Amino acid sequence: MSSQCDKLYLFLDGELGPVDEEHFRHHLARCEACATGLHEAMQLEMLSLYALGEGELTAKPAAVPPVKPERAPRGRFLRVLPGGLHVAGAALALVLAAGLAALVVYAPSPGAVPREVWLAQAPTRMLEARVAYARADGHRPFAPMRSTGDTSSDMPRPPPLRELADLEDAGDLHGIAAAYLVRKDWRQASDFLRRSPPSPDRDSDLAVIMLEEGHLEEALELLEDVLRRVPTHPQALWNRALALRDSGHTLPAAEAFEAVAKLGEPGWSEEALIRARALRHETQARGRAWKAGLAVVD
C-alpha cells in the first residue's frame, strides 16, 4: 500500500487540493485496493439515494454494509441531515464521477513502457537509419551485425508482447512499429506503420523499410516529400543521406549529413560530421583516381 492509498477518503470528501487530487486520480487508475474502496463508496452512495427515493431512513448501523476491519470507517463521507437521512454531498458525487472517468479512460502511457521495447538500453544500435519515434531515436554508435553464417546470436529478443499490447491499447501503433524497426523486422514494422495515421514521421519510417529492402528510388521519393513538408526533419535528412550514398551520390549525401550536423543533436551531429567528411574524402579520392586515369590515357 502506498502513501496515496491513505488519501482515498480525503479524495472522497473533496478535501484534496487540485494537484494532490490530480495525482490521486492517476493513482486510482492503477491501485486495485483504492478502486475497490471507490466501488464500495458508490454502493453506499446508491443506498443513500435509494433512501431518499423511498422515504425516511433512520441512521442505524445495520443500514450500512459491514466494513472490513483493515479499512478506515466509511462514515466520513456520508453527510447526516436532519431527520436521520444519510446522503452523499455534491462534492462526493463529483469526485466519484472523476474517479470513474479515470478508471474508464485510463490507458498505459508510452512513457510508462520500458525502454528495452525499443532497445534503448543497448550500448550500440544495429540499424544504420534513424527511426522517427523519439524513444527509439536515442543516439548510440552504429554496430552492424556480423556477417557470419549464423546471425541468431546477434539478433535481439522479440519485443515483449505485454508492452506491445499496452501500446496498442493506447493507440500508439507507431511505437509498436518502431519496436520492430529497431529489430529489423520489416514485415511487422510495415504492417503497423501502414495502420498508423499519416504523418511525416510515419512516412520517414516507411522510407527506412524501402531503403533497407533496396528500393532506393522509392525511398528517396518518399523522403523528399517528407522534407518538402518539414525541411528540417532530422530523421528524414539522415535517411536521405543514406539513400543518396547507397545510390552512389556521395557528394549530395555528404551535404545531407552536414545538414543534420547543423541541427546540433547530441551524438547525431557528431556522427553526421564524421560521415560527411568520409564521403567528401571518398569523392575527392575518386576524383583523383579519375584524373590519374585520364593522364595515363593521354
Alpha helices in 55-185 (DSSP H): 90-105, 161-169, 173-181
Given pLDDT bands bounded at 50, 70 and 90, which one contains residue 66? very low
Does 19 score more than 60 pLDDT? Answer: yes
Range 22-45 burial, b when 16+ CB lie within 10 A, else e: eebbebbbebeebbebbeebbebb
| Per-residue pLDDT at 7 | 80
pTM as predicted: 0.60
Beta bridge partners of 80: 86
Check residues 117 and 101 and name the one with the higher pLDDT.
117
Amino acid letter for position 194: R
Instruction: Quote the percentage of the chain above a pLDDT of 70.
Output: 64
Quote the longest CA-to-CA distance of the chain: 116
Query: Rounded to whole angstroms, how far apart are CA atoms 29 and 105?
Result: 9
| Per-residue pLDDT at 13 | 72
Given pLDDT bands bounded at 50, 70 and 90, which one contains residue 75? very low
The closest of 246, 270, 238, 271 to 143, measured between CA atoms, is 271
Given pLDDT bands bounded at 50, 70 and 90, which one contains residue 173? very high
| Per-residue pLDDT at 87 | 40
Q: Which residues, 6+ apart, have CB-to-CB distance to 289 below 8 Å?
A: none
Which range scores top for mean pLDDT: 38-42, 121-125, 260-264, 278-282? 260-264
The closest of 157, 153, 166, 80 to 116, measured between CA atoms, is 157
Domain borders along the chain are 3-105, 112-188, 198-298
Check residues 40 and 232 and name the one with the higher pLDDT.
232
Q: Is the dihedral of CA 150, 153, 155, 161 positive or negative?
A: positive
Q: Which residues, 6+ apart, have CB-to-CB distance to 217 below 8 Å?
A: none
Does 253 score more than 70 pLDDT? Answer: yes
**What is the dotted CATH code of the domain comprising 198-298?**
1.25.40.10
Burial class (CB in 10 A: 0-12, 13-18, 19+), 279: buried
Q: Which residues, 6+ apart, have CB-to-CB distance to 50 below 8 Å?
A: none
Average pLDDT over residues 187-194: 96
Query: Rounded to whole angstroms, how far apart are CA atoms 107 and 146?
Result: 40
